[in-house]
Amino acid sequence: MIIAMKWGTPHIEVLRFVNLLEKRGVKVNVSEGTSQIVLGLVGDTTDIDEEALAAHQWVEKVIRVQEPYKRANRLFHPEDTLIEVARQDGAVSSIGAGKLGVIAGPCSVETQEQIVSIAESVKQAGAGFLRGGAFKPRTSPYSFQGLGCEGLELLLEAKKATGLPIISELMGIHQIEIFDVVDIIQVGARNMQNFTLLKELGHCHKPILLKRGAACTVTELLMAAEYIMAGGNDRVILCERGIRTFENYTRNTLDISAIPVLKKQSHLPVIVDPSHATGRSWLVPALSKAAIAAGADGIMVEVHNNPATALCDGEQSITPQVFSTLMASLKQYAAFEGKTL
């Protein structure tokens, strides 16, 4: 951590401040410039609060040099993390460490017929996981809010029929128990900084799919993962799903650079959700291929057998046919990147 003192800070004040810092267990190197004094803190600064320092009367600027996350940091865990979910048919669905994971399914679970039929289609095309919303976060209180617990039950039926592990989004800590039936718990973008929820999920024994908030930086995403990991749950999958920008042709702007950046900074698997990132189904194939080319460990895609009658987000869902064609391309891309799908 580096601290630039204000222009003209008296020497006695610098000394006092250095004393204060050294009492907190760090060593301080003082660089005296012609116009400004700069302090370099040496040692573990993880629990030193930048903002508290920045509020000090004689401090101009505080700059953190080391990343504020530890467990999610590749520096301390150079090996890729592999997330594996055992399937009832004896197979294993995997994401990370060279295994490409594809999660597919409808935005919302609607009926048994719908979810089983989609599950069968996506399994046949090569998906490793089935997704489906039971509880839906909707901008308007007057929109369809999901089937709730019945939705989870229908997902279980689809799992029974196909063997695919299931993944669904929970809305808050009150639902952790009922989500015991799913294989991977999804934290939605709007909950990425619901710290109470993240802490609870740290005590949970399931992989967590953590979606990036629309206004959150990659560092904040890694800090959110750190919240879960600090509780003891190391199985976190990071998901880039678009950030909010001035461009409004697409619903969000997929931050494709986040993939190699997250892979460099962290050992956790990184997947991409092109459906929510763009909000337009015709963009999904191009962005899925781009995600794999950029180094993603998988994708999560909305697939619906009849997008025009979907109860939510139909505009961003592709059909099973389009999904199947896409999977054929992705296999080529995966092979070229030295990954298995």
**Of 214-243, which residues contact its own copies (CB under 8 A)?**
214-215, 217-220, 223, 226-227, 230, 243
For its own copies, what does the binding mask look like between residues 151 and 190, x meaning CB under 8 A?
Answer: --------------------xxxx---------------x
Kindly state the smallest distance separating residue 126's Cβ from its own copies, in Å. Answer: 17
Torsions phi, psi for 192 (to 5 deg): -60, -30
- 248, exposed or middle or buried, with CB in 10 Å at 0-12, 13-18, 19+? exposed
How far apart CA 241 and CA 164 sit, in angstroms, is 23
Kindly state the smallest distance separating residue 6's Cβ from its own copies, in Å. Answer: 11
A 10 A CB-CB count for 306 gives 12
Q: What amino acid occupies position 66?
A: Q
Q: Binding to its own copies by residue 138, rule CB under 8 A? A: yes
Q: Identify whether the C-beta of residue 124 lies closer than 8 Å to the C-beta of residue 320.
A: no
Kindly state the smallest distance separating residue 84's Cβ from its own copies, in Å. Answer: 25
Sign of CA dihedral 38, 40, 41, 46: positive
Q: Binding to its own copies by residue 309, rule CB under 8 A? A: yes
Q: Which is nearer to its own copies, 85 or 322 (CB)?
A: 322
Interface residue with its own copies among 310, 322, 326, 327 (CB under 8 A) is 310
Coil/strand/helix, residue 195: helix
Q: Binding to its own copies by residue 34, rule CB under 8 A? A: yes
A 10 A CB-CB count for 90 gives 7
Q: Which is nearer to its own copies, 8 or 88 (CB)?
A: 8
Kindly state the smallest distance separating residue 188's Cβ from its own copies, in Å. Answer: 9
For its own copies, what does the binding mask look like between residues 283 and 302, x meaning CB under 8 A?
Answer: x--xx-xxxxxxx-------
Q: Which range binds its own copies by CB under 8 A, 91-99, 124-132, 157-165, 277-285?
A: 277-285
Q: Binding to its own copies by residue 113, rule CB under 8 A? A: no
Strand partners, 300: 103
Q: Which helix (H) or strand (E) holds 178?
A: none
Torsions phi, psi for 167 (to 5 deg): -135, 135
Q: Which is nearer to its own copies, 14 or 161 (CB)?
A: 14
- Report how far Cα 281 is from the mean position of its chain's Cα atoms: 21
Q: Binding to its own copies by residue 307, rule CB under 8 A? A: yes
Q: Binding to its own copies by residue 278, rule CB under 8 A? A: yes
Q: Which helix (H) or strand (E) holds 27?
A: strand 27-32
Q: Binding to its own copies by residue 90, rule CB under 8 A? A: no
